[in-house]
Amino acid sequence: MRFGVFIAPYHMVGDNPTLALERDLQLVEVVEGLGYEEAWFGEHHSGGTEIIAAPELMIATAAARTHRIRLGTGVSSLPYHQPFMFADRMVLLDHLTRGRLIVGVGPGALPGDAYMMGIETTRQREMMTESLEAVLELWADEGPVNRETDWFTLRDARLQLRPYSRPGIEVSVAVTASPSGPVAAGKFGIGLLSIAATQKKAFDALARNWRTAEDSAAQHGQTVSRQGWRLCGPMHIAETEEQARRDVEVGLSKWVDYFLNVGAIPILGDFDPGDDIVSAVNETGVGVIGTPEMAIDQLRRLKEKSGGFGTYLLMAHEWANREATLRSYELISRYVMPAFQDSLEPLERSRDWTVFHREQLMGNIYNAIAGETQKFLDQREVRRRAEAESMQPVK
C-alpha cells in the first residue's frame, strides 16, 4: 500500500490565505521526507475554504521544491475547462515535473462554482465524460481530433508536445456518490479516486463501485487495476488517544461545520456529531482521531470492505496546531505505513531468530574472544622469551 496526502485544502475563514497556501506547499516537502509517495491539490472557486483555484500552479511550485513525490490534480473539474487547453497545460506540466504528474479529474463539486459559470449541475457528469474522451484522444496523438458538442469544438486539433510520461500520463477519476466515476474508470481503463471513502454510504459502496468499474471495463475492452485505486479519508494521530482528542478540540468543530453547511462532497453523510464530536468521528468511521493502532485498524477495515486498493490518501486538515499536525504525519510514517508495506516482518524474524539462538551465538562470541585472548597471551610470551634470550651474555 502506498500513502499520500490529499490537499483540498481546508483552511477556515479568518486565516491568512497566503500563509495557508505556503503551509500546503511546506506540507508536501515534509511528507516527501517522511516517505509519502503522492500529494494531490484540489480545484475550487467558491466557499471561502478550499482556496486552491489552479492545482497545476501548486504542482509546478511543489515540483520545484521536491525531488521524488508524485503530484496530482485532486481533482481538476473538467466542465470548467476547454479540453484542448486543459490537455495542453497538463502535457506541459508532465514535462516540467519529469513525469511525476497524476491527472485527477471530476465533474466539479461545489455548486457555487458551476452556478457562477452558468453550468447546469445536472450536466456536469456528462460534460466530464465528453471532455475526458477528448483529452485522452489528444494525448494519444493518433491523428487530428475533431469533436463538436454544445459546449466545445475541436477542429483538426493536435498538441505540439506529446506527454513526457510513457506510455502516457496517469489519470484517475473521482467517485463520491454517483456511479459516473466507476463507469468512466472502466470505460477508459484509468484509475479510480474514492474521495469520500470513509463516509458510511461510500464505505458501504466500495466493493460495488469496484464491480461497476470492472463491468464497465469489460464492456469497453479495457482493464482496471486495484493498484490504481485510491481511497481518501481523514486522520489525526498522537501517542495516546487522550492527546489526540486534546489536539483537535478547537479545529475539528470548524471542519465539521464546513461540511455540514458549505461543502458539497458527502464526507460526513448523515453525520450527527452531538456533543462529543471526536467519538462521533471515530464511531462512524468517518475518520480516526487516536493512536497508530487505531489508524491501522481503520485501514484494515477499508482494505477488507473494498477487497483491496493501491493507495491511501490522508485528507489534509488543520484540526490541530502545526506541530501536532506534522507529528501526526510522522507517527503514521513510522508506525502505520510499515504495517502495510511488508517492511516489519523481516525485522521481527531476524530479531526472533537472534533471540532464539542467543545462547549459542553468545557462546561462539565468548569462545572467539577467549581464543583470541589466549592467542595474544601466547604470542606475547613467545616475544618475552625471545627478548630474554637475546639479552643473555655471550659465552
* 323, 358: one domain: no
Is 259 in a helix, a strand, or coil?
helix
Same domain, yes or no: 358 and 313: no
Number of domains in the chain: 2
Q: What is the pLDDT of residue 35?
A: 98
379 and 281 in one domain?
Answer: no
What's the CA angle centered on 149, arms 144 and 153, to 5 degrees? 45
Is residue 68 included in any domain, yes or no? Answer: yes
Residues 325 and 370 in one domain: no
- Do 98 and 181 lie in a common domain? yes
Task: Answer left, alpha or beta for residue 203, where phi above 0 means left and psi between -120 and 50 means alpha.
Answer: alpha
Give the contacts of 377 (CB within 8 A, at least 6 positions apart): none
Residues 296 and 271 in one domain: yes
How many Å apart are CA 89 and CA 236, to the nearest integer?
35
- Is residue 202 domain-resident? yes
Question: Angle between the 180-188 and 206-219 helix axes, to the nearest 10 degrees?
Answer: 40
Is residue 225 domain-shared with residue 303, that is, in the same domain?
A: yes
In this structure, are residues 44 and 114 in contact, taking their beta carbons and an 8 Å threshold? no
The answer on 383 and 283 residing in a single domain is: no
SS3 220: coil
**What is the pLDDT, as a whole number, of residue 394?**
63
Same domain, 262 and 359: no
Q: Determine, yes or no, domain membership for 144.
A: yes
Please name every residue paired with 38 in a beta bridge, in sequence order, or none if there are none. 4, 70
Q: Is 112 part of a structural domain of the chain?
A: yes
Q: How far apart are CA 205 and CA 225, in angstroms?
A: 18
- Residue ranges of the chain with pLDDT lower than 70? 264-266, 269-271, 394-395
pLDDT in tens, 247-274: 999 899 999 988 888 876 667 766 677 7
320 lies in a domain? yes
Quote the cell numbers at residue 156: 483538426
pTM value is 0.91
Tell me, what CATH number does 204's domain have?
A: 3.20.20.30
Would 395 be classed as within a structural domain?
Answer: no
Whether 103 and 163 share a structural domain: yes
pLDDT number for residue 246: 97
Listed residue (204, 139, 126) closest to 169, CA to CA? 139
Vertex 59 angle, CA 233 and 41, to 5°: 25
Phi, psi of 23 (to 5 degrees): -60, -35
pLDDT of residue 160: 97
Nearest residue to 230 via CA among 169, 299, 288, 283: 299
- The whole domain housing 378 covers 349-390
CA–CA separation, 157 vs 144, rounded Å? 5
Residue 240: strand, helix, or coil = coil
What letters, b where the CB count within 10 A reaches 16 and e where it falls short, cover 105-144? bbbbbbeebbeeeebeeeebbebbbbbbbbbbbbbeeeee
* Same domain, residue pair 241 and 285: yes
On whether both 337 and 359 belong to a single domain, the answer is no
Alpha-carbon distances, residue 358 vs 348, 349, 368 (angstroms): 15, 14, 15
229 beta partners: 192
Beta bridge partners of 314: 5, 233
Which of 311, 326, 343 delimits the end of a domain?
343
How far is residue 43's CA from residue 59's CA, in Å, rounded to a whole number?
Answer: 12
- Grouping H, G, I as helix, E, B as strand and the rest as coil, residue 290 is strand
Determine the distance from the C-alpha atom of residue 314 to the mean position of all C-alpha atoms in its chain, rounded to a whole number.
6
The answer to whether position 32 is within a domain reads yes
Strand partners, 7: 41
**Can you read off the three cell numbers belonging to residue 132?**
475526458
Q: Name beta bridge partners: 162.
A: none
Answer left, alpha or beta for residue 78, where phi above 0 means left and psi between -120 and 50 means alpha.
Answer: alpha
- Placement of cell 486552491 in the chain: 52
